[in-house]
Amino acid sequence: MKEFMTNFAEKHPKAAQWIREGGLFVLFSYVVTFIKYLLLTFLPGAWRGVVGDVEWTWPGIQVSLFGVPFTLAVIGNALADGGLAFTLANYTSIILGECINFPLQRNVTFRSKGPVGKQIAMHALGTIAVMLVMNLFTCVWNPVTAAFGVPDAVRNIVTTIATGGVAMVIIFAIDKTIFAPGWGEKK
């Protein structure tokens, strides 16, 4: 097998690089997603002990879909979806997860030696953008599927796969750009 991989890499260096980077990126992303999922099993309760049961949403527009009312939010969660405690738990898990993910992707997957400050800033902006879009998705998905009797475990798995999958594609594109040789360096 090693001989096959060596021959393949020699004949198709770009394809081999994409396979290596894509494989490591997905592997690290799934490990970090699993860590985030574990954090979300206890962090909402911990945050609820600090902030109580408070709804926190923006823009917080009341709408309905298929006869199911919910609060449309780019930031935050309706009280029925965990409120401020879940929002803080989610953001905490994202920040901690990215503190693990970023150095793995930068140093192992892409082997980047570029300007770390600029890379952190661009990775953070991409993560925030993805997080806001995914929050919008979940503020619709969770109440609508709950109203139709989809069990919590199924909703959580689908949410994790859907949001994680979309995030991986977008963040991979960002990381592939910001970790490329020469990116962000003065010319």
Q: What is the pLDDT of residue 101?
A: 94
User: Rounded mean pLDDT of the chain?
Assistant: 91
Sign of CA dihedral 116, 122, 124, 126: negative
Q: How large is the average pLDDT for residues 57-82?
A: 93
Q: What is the pLDDT of residue 184?
A: 85
CA 160, 150, 127: angle at the middle one, nearest 5?
A: 20
Instruction: Dump pLDDT digits (tens) for 113-151.
Output: 999 999 999 999 999 999 999 899 988 998 999 999 999
Report which DSSP code applies to 82.
T
Helix crossing, 83-103 with 13-51: angle to 10°? Answer: 150
Q: What is the pLDDT of residue 72?
A: 93
Query: pTM for the complete prediction?
Result: 0.85
Q: Where are the domains of the chain?
A: 2-178
Q: Hey, what's the torsion of the CAs at 123, 124, 127, 133, to 10 degrees?
A: -130
Q: What is the pLDDT of residue 21?
A: 94
